[in-house]
């Protein structure tokens, strides 16, 4: 466990949580965590844009002498909520942040914080579709869900004889299709006889259409139109917070030029940013 100023945290913690619990600034909390990282007591992981500091297996980290773990309080509540979220994800396979908010009566920040902690521990993975984040129990479940969503949307387009498909038309067709309605309503706002759809709902379906048919034929601020064709092979971005090793091949003349060169930090950063585009 991580103990800072007699406050006991879990095995992973963010600077924001330390700041809130200790009543200090986020900058001060981050400095303390970085000192502990330099001493080899913590390992930093990037979960999206959030830095999460975790302690290794079997290690005990204390910035000052530990105090007894309180039976009640924010930490106990967070741990209980994390366990509830894991059970919900196990039952449903994939869930949305808004579903957690409704299920546990919490706000978006609380739900997002719990999910990021679980992602850092490897308990969930994240798939982003449009403006909607789906949280799944593993990569296989995430891929299976995306395949099912694509098959359902493509079926709606074919059965309704759509030559051109727009998110709004797909959703209107889904309202009259029991299986499609049941699937899509798990992740977006969808009600019988619905006439207008929230932007997040339209964005999710637009992302699915793009994965099926490629770039839209027409895109305006409020509408995207796709040509219905043979579905393409697809790749989805699954984020689980893990580190990956990327093997890169570069031209032989560039390799020779770089070998033994005194490349400065700016050049190395430029190369890293370029190679980051090809990471999977």
Predicted local distance difference test score (pLDDT) of residue 150: 93
Cα–Cα distance for residue pair 191/87, rounded to 1 Å: 26
CATH class for domain 2-62?
mainly alpha
Nearest to 99 by CA among 184, 171, 178, 188: 188
Predicted local distance difference test score (pLDDT) of residue 57: 53
Per-residue pLDDT of the chain (280 residues; tens, 9 = 90+): 566 655 656 678 888 888 777 777 888 888 888 888 887 778 888 877 788 888 765 444 444 444 444 443 346 778 888 888 889 889 889 888 888 888 888 888 888 888 888 888 888 988 877 667 888 998 889 889 999 999 999 999 999 999 999 999 999 999 999 999 999 998 888 888 888 898 888 988 999 999 899 999 888 767 899 999 999 887 776 776 554 444 455 556 655 555 555 445 545 656 666 666 665 4
Inter-residue contact 72 to 138 (CB < 8 Å): no
| Domain boundaries defined on the chain | 2-62, 165-236, 247-273
Q: Do domains 2-62 and 165-236 have the same CATH topology?
A: yes
Cα–Cα distance for residue pair 198/156, rounded to 1 Å: 20
Residue 52's Cβ-count burial label (10 Å; 0-12, 13-18, 19+) is buried
Predicted local distance difference test score (pLDDT) of residue 59: 45
Predicted local distance difference test score (pLDDT) of residue 80: 85
Which CATH number is associated with domain 165-236?
Answer: 1.10.10.1490
Q: In terms of pTM, does the model score above 0.75?
A: no
Predicted local distance difference test score (pLDDT) of residue 46: 83
């Amino acid at each position: 466990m991580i103990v800072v100023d007699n406050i006991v945290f879990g095995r992973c913690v963010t600077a924001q949580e330390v700041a809130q619990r200790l009543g200090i600034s986020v900058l001060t909390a981050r400095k303390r965590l970085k000192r502990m990282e330099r001493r080899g007591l913590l390992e930093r992981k990037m979960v999206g844009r959030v830095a999460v500091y975790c302690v290794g297996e079997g290690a005990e980290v204390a910035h000052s002498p530990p105090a007894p773990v309180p039976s009640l309080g924010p930490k106990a509540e967070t741990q209980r909520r994390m366990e509830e979220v894991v059970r919900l994800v196990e039952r449903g396979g994939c869930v949305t942040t808004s579903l957690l908010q409704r299920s546990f009566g919490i706000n978006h920040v609380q739900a997002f914080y719990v999910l990021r902690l679980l992602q850092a521990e490897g308990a969930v993975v994240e798939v982003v579709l449009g403006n909607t984040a789906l949280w799944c129990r593993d990569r296989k479940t995430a891929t299976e869900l995306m395949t099912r969503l694509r098959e359902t949307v493509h079926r709606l387009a074919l059965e309704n004889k759509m030559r051109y498909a727009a998110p709004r038309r797909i959703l209107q067709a889904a309202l009259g299709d029991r299986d499609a309605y049941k699937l899509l309503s798990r992740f977006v706002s969808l009600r019988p006889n619905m006439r207008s759809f929230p932007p997040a709902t339209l964005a999710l379906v637009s992302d699915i259409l793009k994965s099926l048919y490629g770039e839209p034929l027409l895109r305006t601020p409020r509408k995207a139109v796709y040509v219905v064709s043979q579905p393409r092979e697809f790749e989805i971005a699954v984020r689980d917070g893990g580190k990956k090793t990327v093997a890169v091949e570069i031209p032989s003349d560039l390799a020779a030029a770089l070998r033994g060169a005194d490349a400065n930090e700016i050049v190395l950063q430029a190369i890293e940013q370029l190679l980051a585009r090809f990471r999977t």
